[in-house]
Amino acid sequence: MLQILPLKPFVSGLKQVGILMLLVLVLGGCGAGRYISKGDQRFEQEQYERAIEYYTKALGSTDKPGEINFKIAEAYRRSNRLAQAEQYYKAALDANYRSEELYYYYGLALKANGKYDASERQLQEYVKIARNATLKSQALRELNNYSSLNDILKKHPEFEIQHLDALNTEASEFAPVVVNNELVFSSTRNADEKYLGNGEGFLDLYATALTDSVAGLGATVNRYESINLEGMHDALATFTNDGRIMVFARSNEGTKKGRRNVDLFTSTLGSGGWTEAKRLGISDPTGWDSSPAFSPDGKILYFSSNRRGGLGGNDIYKTTIDANGRFSAPVNLGPDINTPGNESFVSVAPDGTLYIASDGLPGLGNLDLFRIENGKPVNLGPPINSPGDDFGIFFKNGSTGFFSSNREGGKGGDDIYAFERSMRKRVNFFVDGTLYQQREGARQQVPVPEHPVELQNEKGEKISEATTDAAGKFSFPLDSASTYALISTKPGFFTARQSITTVGKMPSQAELTEPETDVRLTATLVLNEIVKDKPIVLENIFYDFDKAEIRPDAAIELDKLVQIMVDNPRISIELSSHTDARGSDEYNQDLSQRRAESAVEYIVSKGISPERITAKGYGESRLVVKNATTEEEHQRNRRTEFKVVRVQE
């Protein structure tokens, strides 16, 4: 018997369940709110790692996942971990959180992870809706920088690099310099006390003896005890050539919370060791002064600063030092070197060449390393630069040294790498071509001056464009082991196309006699006039005896006609098939029609509109060689042709 429960207790039970669920939701919401509040507090104090911990706890129960993911992303970005921020920016977007900063910084985070195409699209979308003039200007600068990306990626590797596995740890190691046969560097490896900005230890200065092999460098590491202070960042040292004067950066003075100020300090090496560090008077009390570097003669000190009056972010400054050790007023190096972005980690090679790191100049992502040539920054390219932060380069001599990077494949946050100038002889590939046109009935081809020629990659994507000179000549630089197409179009003419490849054309190192060799390939492009109803024979279109199916060798030839149709989208054609005179007229007519239709079906299967092509079998009615007797003459009669029947205006 079905027992019906009393209505009152049932309703009462529902109420209890509802109240319980409401309490869970309220308590959960309160928990999320508490974590968000604590996260916001830590964020304001620039304790980004602790803020991330609280925001992450709030994610499980918050009704604002988009906002919280955005805050996590911002915490990563502001603690110099932009690559890690990407997934949280995306999560914020997926949760329908919208802000200008999100659209812009998500584009930068994509670039920091080497997702260049996605980054460019994201920044283009942001520019369309941007209202913040500063961010829009920065986004436009980034988009403009993308025009140099391919050139940077194609640069011939100038150096070979090696990770210092014995030196690097799961913490950060960076800013290497060599003095008195020691490698001095900055590191967060002392984790006895955490820096709340990024969760790592405070920065300290360390030294390790140089070894004959860089592979063993770092087996024994010593801490600069007399320089490093507890609860302070001490890092980025530079030394005069005799090793007796040190200038370094110190921050977090007076508090252990957040980043606070960064100033330049100096110490002198005496008989009792390094003297107590003193703050340099050129430091800006309200600014961020860091990454100092002496010139080889010790008379100039370069450094990075975000002091007022700069061009934006951190700029490179210099100050001269007189015979009495007095520093002149710092001078900004100007707009040829500094940008609205950040320029820092300045270094001077033994020959006096200046090197900087910048995120405002065209690069591969975040900070890239640049050499100053004739007063202009030149990107060092891969493998020195990567989508990550690449910075803090130091030259021991003209061909070897060290630099820092947080690229993928490292051991910690930032790692130190050794580099050596590559001894491989360089090969540069070029194609030199001439563009001609051939009119119907003309006896010879004539050069086409001042006309565009396009270089496409193997995917059919435009890489570059050149304009022919007065003699119809053009030239393009090429990559090694790559295949290209040269294209030129002109109304009234078939598109000119030629394939060019550098695959298999790289000389061996033993064959090269010079440090740099140019390999120049040649190409000839011909624009042939389109003449309606003029038959054009397709060579090597063969069929099996009494068959109309397309053979593989015939397909290769028909693919060329497909390309002609793609290159010339305004033409419509008739494809015709012809037989020799052997066999009956009726049989040959039927066979030729089937073969023509089979060829047309193949071409249509490749994406060509059937409205642009018709099949016509002519059998033996249009013999090229009448009264043929040899097999060669019969073959000339057995042919496949096409002719242009219509040109769309």
Q: Would the pLDDT of 26 be above 50?
A: no
For residue 157, is pLDDT > 60? yes
% of residues, the chain, pLDDT over 70: 93
Residue 633, phi then psi, degrees to nearest 5? -70, -40
pLDDT (mean) for 149-177: 91
Under the banding of pLDDT at 50, 70 and 90, the label for residue 258 is very low
Give residue 195's pLDDT band: very low, low, confident or very high (50, 70, 90): confident
Cα–Cα dist 477/151, whole Å: 11
> Which region among 75-89, 233-247, 454-468, 579-593 has the lowest average model confidence (pLDDT)?
579-593
pLDDT greater than 80 at residue 375: yes
SS3 annotation, 290-318: EEEEECCCCCEEEEEECCCCCCCCCEEEE
Residue 508 inside a domain? The answer is yes
Three-point CA angle 620, 624, 625, nearest 5°: 95
Number of Cβ atoms within 10 Å of the Cβ of 579: 25
Q: How confident is the model at residue 123 (pLDDT cuts 50, 70, 90)?
A: very high
Same domain, yes or no: 174 and 251: yes
pLDDT bucket at 474, cuts 50 / 70 / 90: very high
Q: What is the average pLDDT across 479-505?
A: 95
Joined together, the tokens standing for residue 61 give 């129960």
Does 358 fall in a domain?
yes
Give the residue numbers spanning the domain of 627: 536-647
Q: What is the pLDDT of residues 513-536, one digit of tens each?
A: 988 899 999 999 999 999 999 998
Do 208 and 344 share a domain, yes or no? yes
Segment 632-636 mean pLDDT: 81
Look at residue 10 in the predicted model and tell me its pLDDT. Answer: 34
Q: Is residue 27 part of a domain?
A: no
Helix (H) or strand (E) holding 566: helix 552-567
Looking at residues 380-386, what average pLDDT do you find?
Answer: 95
Task: Tell me, yes or no, whether 232 and 325 share the same domain.
Answer: yes
Average pLDDT over residues 316-321: 96
Same domain, 276 and 175: yes
- Spatial distance between the Cα atoms of 277 and 411, rounded to a whole number of angstroms: 32
Q: CA dist 213 to 6, 166, 402, Å?
A: 87, 11, 13
For residues 23 and 580, the model is more confident at 580
Domain CATH number, residue 39: 1.25.40.10
> Does residue 474 form part of some domain?
yes
Residues 190 and 316 in one domain: yes
**Domain-terminating residue out of 528, 551, 582:** 528
Q: Which contacts qualify for 276-280: CB closer than 8 Å, 24 or more apart?
A: 277/227, 277/248, 277/250, 279/250, 280/247, 280/327
Residue 212's pLDDT is what?
85
Q: What is the pLDDT of residue 66?
A: 93
In a domain, 18, yes or no: no
Identify the band that residue 271 occupies on the pLDDT scale cut at 50, 70 and 90. Answer: confident
**613-619 and 571-578 strand pairing:** parallel
Q: Is residue 353 part of a domain?
A: yes
pLDDT per residue over 444-471, tens digit each? 999 999 999 999 999 999 999 999 999 9
For residue 15, is it within any domain? no
- Residue 615's H or E segment, with its range, is strand 613-619
Whether residue 79 has pLDDT greater than 60: yes
For residue 9, the model assigns a pLDDT of: 38
φ, ψ dihedrals at 441, nearest 5°? 90, -15
pLDDT at site 12: 43
Q: Cα dist. 348→176, 351, 368, 394 in Å?
A: 13, 8, 16, 8
Taking the mean position of all CA atoms in its chain, how far away is CA 434? 33
Interval 203-230: pLDDT, tens: 999 999 999 888 889 889 999 988 999 8
* Domain final position from 99, 123, 153: 153
CATH number of the domain at 569, please. Answer: 3.30.1330.60
What is the domain-level CATH number for residue 440?
2.60.40.10
39-48, 444-453, 467-476: which range is least confident on average? 39-48
What's the domain count of the chain? 4
More confident position, 192 or 543: 192
Quick one: 540 and 620 in the same domain? Answer: yes
Q: Decide: helix, strand or coil at residue 275.
A: coil
Same structural domain, 593 and 524: no
Average pLDDT of the chain, as a whole number: 89
Residue 43 predicted with pLDDT over 80: yes
Contact (Cβ atoms closer than 8 angstroms) between residue 394 and residue 141: no
Domain presence at residue 183: yes
Report long-range pairs for 613-617 (Cβ below 8 Å, ≥24 apart).
613/565, 613/572, 613/573, 613/574, 613/575, 614/573, 614/574, 614/575, 614/645, 615/574, 615/575, 615/576, 615/577, 616/574, 616/575, 616/576, 616/577, 617/576, 617/577, 617/589, 617/590, 617/591, 617/592, 617/593
- Of the candidates 344, 332, 346, the one whose C-alpha atom is nearest the C-alpha of residue 395 is 346
Say yes or no: 175 and 281 in one domain.
yes
* Average pLDDT over every residue of 94-112: 93
Query: Would the pLDDT of 103 be above 90?
Result: yes
Same domain, 71 and 172: no
399 and 463 fall within a common domain: no
Last residue of a domain, one of 137, 153, 169: 153
Q: Give the CATH number of the domain where residue 413 resides.
A: 2.120.10.30
The mean per-residue pLDDT over the stretch 504-508 comes to: 93
Under DSSP, is residue 48 helix (H, G, I), strand (E, B) or coil? helix
**Average pLDDT for 240-266:** 78
Residue-level pLDDT at 336: 95
Q: Verify that 412 and 310 share a domain, yes or no.
A: yes
Distance, CA of 430 to CA of 432 (rounded, Å): 6
Is 432 found in the same domain as 398? Answer: no
From the CB of residue 581, how many other CB atoms can be counted at a distance below 10 Å? 16
pLDDT over 90 at 637, yes or no: no
pTM of the full structure: 0.68
Q: For the segment 533-580, what is each residue's pLDDT rounded down to a tens digit?
A: 999 888 878 766 667 788 888 898 899 999 999 999 999 999 999 988
Which residues are bridge partners to 240 per DSSP?
none
pLDDT at 30: 55
